[in-house]
Amino acid sequence: GAVVSQHPSWVICKSGTSVKIECRSLDFQATTMFWYRQFPKQSLMLMATSNEGSKATYEQGVEKDKFLINHASLTLSTLTVTSAHPEDSSFYICSASDVLSASYEQYFGPGTRLTVT
Amino acid sequence: AQSVTQLGSHVSVSEGALVLLRCNYSSSVPPYLFWYVQYPNQGLQLLLKYTSAATLVKGINGFEAEFKKSETSFHLTKPSAHMSDAAEYFCAVSDQGGGADGLTFGKGTHLIIQP
């Protein structure tokens, strides 16, 4: 149980275009979803936290207008990178938790590798 | 503010030897602590978690970690390394249990297993 999927697993886009990444909880209701960014050979940095039906809370330094997060249902959150630039190239990982379960655990998706050319 | 320090960006051990990966944390409240493993180009898999119950936590794949409040440490160990243990390991901390708040990760330790 507790499976989180991401789509696509990798994407290449041209500079200036937008790209959407989906994060789905397959077998549980995700009341809270998180988006992390991981640069090559580095740690994960929390970008934002989203609760179903609410606006996302962004970490300091993360541009909310550039990284649009939508958590419209209990099983789906999307991250849209708008007007992407090469410096946005990274590994984006989502995680999800069911805060009603008290398991103190986030379940991570497999990640999406974004390359902006 | 929370922080996590993982000593040693790379650790190399021989197959069958003890694995010790170090993690020290800083938190203003009693923390929730986690160890995750990441294989290349994959997401994170939870190895174990400390949630204020027993200080010695047993996880998957033979790993365990001991919470030591006096040393603000949560080191990960495994008695006998296996080749399949080669991966990136991350220690993480949360104030609220990890379910409602994002995790703060250490920089990671790359574990190398020598045959």
Q: pLDDT tens digits, chain B, 115 residues: what are they?
A: 788 999 999 999 999 999 999 999 988 777 889 999 998 877 889 999 998 778 899 999 999 999 999 999 999 999 999 999 999 999 999 877 666 788 999 999 999 999 9
Give the model confidence (pLDDT) of A61-70 as tens digits.
999 999 999 9
Cis peptide leading into B115, omega within 30 of 0?
no
Residue-averaged pLDDT of chain A: 91
Between CA B42 and CA A91 the distance in angstroms is: 10
Angstrom distance (rounded) from CA A31 to CA A41: 30
Hunting for tokens 């789905």 — which residue is that? A24
**Which residues from chain A sit within 8 angstroms of residue B37, using beta carbons?**
none
* Contact check, Cβ <8 Å, A108/B101: no
Nearest beta carbon to residue A110 from set B32, B43, B108:
B43
Mean pLDDT of A48-60: 90
pLDDT at B27: 80
The upper half-sphere exposure of residue A75, i.e. CA atoms within 13 Å in the direction of its Cβ, equals: 7
Q: What is the mean pLDDT of chain B?
A: 91
Q: Using an 8 Å CB-CB cutoff, list residues of chain A that contact chain B.
A: 4, 6, 32, 34, 36, 42-46, 49, 59, 91, 93, 95, 97-99, 101-106, 108-111, 113
Residue A82 C-alpha, separation from nearest chain B C-alpha, in angstroms: 23
With contact defined as beta carbons under 8 Å apart, do B24 and B5 qualify? yes
Q: Is residue A74 predicted with pLDDT exceeding 80?
A: yes
